[in-house]
Amino acid sequence: MTILELLKGKKVKVMTDAKVEVELIIDEVTEYRFTNTVQITPDTPENDWWGTTESHTKVTYTVKFTNGYEKIYSSINDIKII
């Protein structure tokens, strides 16, 4: 069992657009990873066609609640369980 599976069925307080805090039950948590690679130096014969690259990975968590509402969190620590 993963940490994401353990969150299912837990209660969370979520602030709505109307600035009202409501209590929702987690139905599912999905992790998404986005990787962006940027080439720093070009591929040339001098560097054996292997230029320098830099990669950045961003992880987000989409939480689906039992009422159909979805919220995206940038960190699993942002999901505050009651």
Of 58, 71, 34, the residue nearest 79 (C-alpha)? 71
pLDDT beyond 90 at 50? no
11 falls in which pLDDT band (50, 70, 90)? very high
Average the pLDDT over 33-48 and give the result: 91
Q: Is 73 exposed, middle or buried, given 0-12, 13-18 or 19+ CB atoms closer than 10 A?
A: middle
14-28 confidence digits (pLDDT tens): 988 899 999 999 999
> Average of pLDDT values for 68-78?
94
Quick check: 53 and 39 in contact, CB under 8 A? yes
Residue 24, beta-bridge partner list? 12
Please determine, for residue 69, whether its predicted confidence score (pLDDT) is greater than 90.
Answer: yes
